[in-house]
Chain A
Amino acid sequence: DQQVKQNSPSLSVQEGRISILNCDYTNSMFDYFLWYKKYPAEGPTFLISISSIKDKNEDGRFTVFLNKSAKHLSLHIVPSQPGDSAVYFCAASDTGGFKTIFGAGTRLFVKA
């Protein structure tokens, strides 16, 4: 039972364009959502998060949007750069628990 789903295993984008990575969740108890970035041979690193009381959070080129009614969140990267090429994991947690559920990841390729 995958509570957090990233249905696109990969995404290819031209440098300078927008990258949109999508994530769906099923558990309505989730109230905190995160994106991680992972380069090969390294552990995931935290990128950006959003609380369920917000619908948007922005940090530089990265913006996360949350649609609670649709149980959907997305990560926008504008403009995309070749260094953004990595695997992006969506994750969700609830403040009452101590467990974070990760999606399967989306591999982003940014072409120069």
Chain B
Amino acid sequence: KAGVTQTPRYLIKTRGQQVTLSCSPISGHRSVSWYQQTPGQGLQFLFEYFSETQRNKGNFPGRFSGRQFSNSRSEMNVSTLELGDSALYLCASSKMPGQGADTQYFGPGTRLTVL
């Protein structure tokens, strides 16, 4: 079956702009988590959605937001972009939340560059 898909794969924006990233989970998976990967920081948890509800949130400013649709697809939005937001944004899906990270399947990520 198809894996987790993320669009777009690459994105270049300038400071102050906003961006929306999309994630389509594996069919049948209802939980979607978002992570930010930067060199030296590893994967930083952003938030997790299940049944269109945010269940958990990491330590990121309010400029980072997300949502989940009834078909489990998820989007994350970053407003007022800063240079430090340049990173690889990874989406992971699982059937249910809280079952352990070994049940998560990651997408290839969206590489965001902020100039």
A interface list, Cβ under 8 A from B: 4, 6, 9, 32, 34, 36, 41-46, 49, 89, 91, 93, 95, 97-105
Contacts and interface: CB of A to CB of B under 8 A. Distances in A.
Given A32-B100, A34-B101, A46-B101, 18 more contacts: A36-B101, A43-B92, A43-B106, A44-B43, A46-B102, A49-B102, A93-B100, A93-B101, A97-B98, A98-B56, A98-B98, A99-B45, A99-B58, A100-B33, A100-B104, A101-B45, A102-B44, A103-B42
B66 interface: no
Contacts, number: 64
**A-B residue pairs, 7 tightest by C-beta:** A43-B106, A104-B42, A102-B43, A100-B101, A98-B98, A98-B56, A102-B42
Nearest to A46: B102
Contacts of A43: 4, 90, 92, 105-109
